[in-house]
């Protein structure tokens, strides 16, 4: 799920509620909001995201998250590994001859 979270954050800064909503819309996954926040804190600890408080709008302050360069690098490396694993899985499942040539 952390890769899905990095994916939705890579284009713009968001708060946890928006990230949760994007996970549902883009990936069809609906984790508990508490899980989203726990993962955001872990990713922040790992240096993949940074946060700041947004107090510019009316209402309560919201913690806004954005991806760091380290997070983008990690995302790229991880998705490349997933693409390679997907090729192997397609071969194992006997899906398509194109996968066998890659």
- Asked whether residue 95 carries a pLDDT value surpassing 90, the answer given is no
Report the pLDDT value the prediction gives residue 102, as an integer from 0 to 100: 47
Instruction: Quick: pLDDT tens for 5-58.
Output: 999 999 999 999 999 999 999 999 999 999 999 999 999 999 999 999 998 888
Report the pLDDT value the prediction gives residue 98, as an integer from 0 to 100: 55
The domain spans of the chain are 2-101
Sign of the Cα pseudo-torsion (59, 7, 23, 40, in order): negative
- Residue matched to tokens 């990095």: 6
Its CATH class, for the domain covering 2-101, is mainly alpha
């Amino acid at each position: 799920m952390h890769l899905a979270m990095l994916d939705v954050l890579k284009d713009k800064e968001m708060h946890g509620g928006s990230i949760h909503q994007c996970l549902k819309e883009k990936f069809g996954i609906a984790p508990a909001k508490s899980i989203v926040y726990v993962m955001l804190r872990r990713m922040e600890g790992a240096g993949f995201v940074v946060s700041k408080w947004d107090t510019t709008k009316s209402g309560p302050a919201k913690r806004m998250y954005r991806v760091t360069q380290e997070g983008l690098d990690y995302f790229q490396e991880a998705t490349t590994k997933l693409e390679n694993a997907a090729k192997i899985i397609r071969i194992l499942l006997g899906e398509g001859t194109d996968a066998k040539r890659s």
